[in-house]
Structure 1
Amino acid sequence: MPPSPSTRSRAAAPPLRDRGDACPGALRLHQAADGHLARIRLPAGDLTMRQATALADAADLLGDGHLSLTSRGNAELRGLAEDCGSRLAALLRDAGLLPSERHERIRNILASPLAGLDRHTPSDVRRWARELDALLCASESATALSGRFLFVLDDGRGDVAALGGDVSLLAEPGAGAEAEPLAGADEDGEGTGPAGGALLRIGDDPAALQVAGPDVPRAALAAAEAFLTTAAASGSGAWRVRELPDGHRLTAREVAEALRSAGIEAAYVAEPPARVARTSPPHAPPYALPHSPPYADSAAPGIVEGPDGDRALSVLAPLGRLSVAQWRLLTAIADVDGSGALRLTPWRGIVLPGVPAAAAPDRLAELTAAGLITDPASPWHRLGACTGRPGCAKSRTDVRADATAAVAAGTTVPDGAPTGSSPPGVPVYWSGCERRCGHPHGTWVDVLATAEGYRVALVEPDGAPTAARPPARPSARTAASRPPAPPSAP
């Protein structure tokens, strides 16, 4: 079995980039096999009613009548005509989804979806996300970032801290008192700071910088600018922190110097102490420590109990794709019974905040009837797939049809895969080629389409696949209807 992407990145030298990335955006459309594709960045996954309605209108009038949710909490429109770019831009601009057209592809900001909504996490890192977005859109230098560079803001529960951020910030608890000195502070005694701040990490560096709360958004931008300086000096054209070559690695100590040059105090912590991560709502298990890959999403489907009698509804779209009708139902519920907002999650779900406790069960039942996933025990929970055929010409097969057939047969892996190849609670992801676009982080079951059939393996947090299974042939029903397999993708 070919190694996973993360295995390849460790075994080989980082790539030399001699061009800008071709990541699609809202204005730069991508030519796919099923038409043009637009990716709309939604910092922290936040959408107002006006913005959500604009996306539905765009999918209805210009696209294929569906919306796709990405692993970064963004939205995609597919099946767009080649000449629809100006109409799409006008729709998005009028809804406030294009605050800066020069920056629209770099607004990649993930934040804990339940921040401020459940009883366990009073920290609202989403305010930091909004401030960081405004700083990005006002920064001339930030336009040089690639469309793949990622900011992650974790509210302290550890749900998004390990999702591959280039600049990651983990909120620290506090309510106004001075924080206790951190274990692992450097020899100069640094390691204390005001409570309610954040630990900033750069790429995979285990060290962190402790930053005061008011400085967090500026510190995130300064860290990104330090990356741009390092990437330029390396001559590698790196798009992400992990792509920087040996001799030009960016570490927390170097970022600390950049922050101090920007007037931001940062306390160096050689290795943040292991702290027990706050748990998610009662319907989901505790989460991994902040430095460990998570094994479950925080916004598991169901009703989330919040403070003051409020509830939030969390739902998933099967394989991250939903119809305009389903989207409009979500928008209507958020408008009538919710807070007038939607939150998209990096697990291809949607959260509706502010639903009264009395209305929550009936509204959840309505969403269930509409075909959305509302039960954490559903086989669709933690099941994902790339676009596959016919939308992607590089895919060897229609992985979504095959995954759907597997669910109908009572499993989440291909016919013929050995019993036990999908451990309980571990995400399963179907990929049509070795690129594995959109695959999960941490431990996951890799279902890869090959010329001989599907190959199933468990991928561990270090990226190394284990227990590779012999190829499993797809069901006759889906195999008979699929087009001939194209040559393997590069």
Structure 2
Amino acid sequence: MVDSRSRPDACPGALQVHRAADGALARVRLPGGVLTSTQLQTLAESARDLGNGEIELTSRGNAQLRAVRDPQEFARRLADAGLLPSETHERVRNILVSPLTGRIGGVADLRDLVDELDRTLCADAALADLPGRTLFTLDDGRGDVSALGGDFGVHAVSETEVALVLAGRDSGARIAATESVAVLLDAARVFLELRDRHWRLSEIADGVERVLSALTLAPTADPVSGFADHRPPIGWLDHPDGNVTLGGGLAFGILDARLAEFLAAVEKPVIVTPWKSVLLCDLDEWSAEQVVRVLAPMGLIFDENSPWLNVSACTGQPGCEKALA
């Protein structure tokens, strides 16, 4: 089915904010979901000083603030923290990677591909014209982010080879892992030539086949099967090297500014997952025990069986003018 859009893409960003009923909504792209402690502190302070006191996590591993009173000041703070490396490309930096890649499990470590893809994407002026809904996925072979319906992605089938994922499915084409970024961005350029007013590759009739043809690629293997919905990694997660990552869920995917400041104070990498949870990475066992003791009472959920992990809701009133409750 061919589906086209009759209105411009209004997907919000940090500069192009959405005017919601409760004020400006600003969305911050976090390639790979990665936040340094300093960057998380910036978001926490901004939520407290400029917003409604909360950081909302999104299903693409990004973060957003509601009721932003001074969007220009917020953008300035983001830029100072390194969270706004490109004003022209900021809305198209939607890059998901398997959150535990390189630490626990997976066929290959894809962490370096995130930075390479982000830098190369932002360096191409033409790619700023991609829709704000465009999604790149880098799956380390476990099938977690390949299941999320990205437009352009790779799925590791060995340490050196990846499957090319287009419109959320394995195209059957195989490429060297070292060619991943070049091929993904070439595919995005082809999409720009084909798209008219389409927002997603899946909306273009024969889009996958047309992209493969333009890239002079063809299916050479049976498609990877088993892409399936994944639950967030929650709780105590042991690394092979003896370190620990803690997976914490959040009710409705909302991270209170005070809790965010406590997370930042641990001074370890934080990863926002596409399941609206967070990972606090690379802890020793003693530190992990202290984090659980302090942050669980503050609302970080370390129980993988918590019913809160199965609940979602729209923002409701007063955030949405169409809400009834």
- TM-score for the superposition, normalised by structure 1: 0.64
SS state of the match for residue 117, structure 1? Answer: coil
Partner of 2:254: 321
Match of 1:224 in 2: 188
Alpha-carbon separation, structure 2, partners of 1:68 and 1:171: 30
Partner residue, 1:243: 203
Q: 1:36: how far off?
A: 1.0
Deviation readout 1:400-435 (Å, 9 max, x if unpaired): xxxxxxxxxxxxxxxxxxxxxxxxxxxxxxxxxxxx
Structure with bigger helix share is: 2
The separation in 1 between residues aligned to 2:119 and 2:193, in whole angstroms, is 21
Residue in structure 2 matching 1:345, options 262, 270, 273: 273
Which residue does 2:111 correspond to in 1? Answer: 126
8 Å CA contact 1:367, 1:374 repeated in 2 = no
In structure 2, runs of 5+ residues without a counterpart are: none
Q: Find the structure with the greater CA-based Rg.
A: 1
Secondary structure of the residue that 1:269 maps to in structure 2? coil
Give yes or no for contact 2:152–2:167 (8 Å, CA) kept in 1: yes
What whole-Å deviation, never above 9, does each CA across 1:210-261 have from its counterpart, x for those lacking one? 11011101111111111111114xxxx10111222x4xx2124x3334335x
CA distance in 1, matches of 2:85, 2:163: 28
Q: CA deviation at 1:31?
A: 0.9
For residue 73 of structure 2, what is the aligned residue in structure 1? 87
Report the CA distance between 1:270 and its aligned residue.
5.6
Q: Which residue of 1 aligns with 2:14?
A: 26
Q: Give the CA deviation at 1:204.
A: 4.6
Work out whether 1:268 is the aligned partner of 2:219: yes
Q: How far, CA to CA, are the matches of 2:37 and 2:175 in structure 1?
A: 34
The answer on whether the counterparts of 1:63 and 1:80 sit within 8 Å (CA) in structure 2 is: yes
Counterpart residue type for residue 208 of structure 2: T
- How does 1:51-66 map onto structure 2 within 5 Å? 51-66=39-54
Find the partner of 2:85 among 89, 94, 99. 99
SS at match of 2:274: coil
CA distance in 2, matches of 1:389, 1:14: 35
1:22 to partner: Cα distance: 0.5
Q: Which has the higher contact order (CA 8 A, sep 6+)?
A: 2
Partner AA of 1:85 in structure 2? P
Checking the alignment, whether the CA contact within 8 Å between 2:163 and 2:170 is kept in structure 1 is no
Alignment partner of 2:149 out of 161, 164, 176 = 164
Equivalent pairs: percent with the same residue? 41
- Which of 211, 214, 239 is the matching residue for 1:255? 211
In structure 2, C-alpha distance between the alignment counterparts of 1:206 and 1:56, rounded to whole Å: 38
Q: Distance in 2 between the 1:306 and 1:300 partners?
A: 13
Q: Which amino acid aligns with 1:379?
A: P
Deviations 1:291-330 (A, max 9, x none): xx32x32x42201110211000110111001211000111
Q: Quote the residue 1:213 is aligned against.
A: 177
When the two structures are superposed, what TM-score results if normalisation uses the length of structure 2? 0.95
Aligned length: 325
Cα distance in 2 for partners of 1:372, 1:341 equals 16
Helix, strand or coil: the match of 2:27?
A: strand
SS of the aligned residue for 1:369 comes to coil
1:97 is paired with a residue whose SS is coil
* Rounded Cα–Cα distance in structure 2 between residues aligned with 1:385 and 1:127: 34
- Determine the C-alpha separation between the residues in 2 that align with 1:270 and 1:155: 18
**Alignment RMSD:** 1.7
Q: Is the 8 A contact 1:302 1:364 kept in 2?
A: no
Aligned structure 1 segments of 4 or more residues deviating by more than 4 angstroms: none
CA contact (8 A) 1:207 1:269 kept: no
> CA separation in 2, counterparts of 1:373 and 1:70?
17
Q: Is the 8 A contact 1:168 1:202 kept in 2?
A: yes
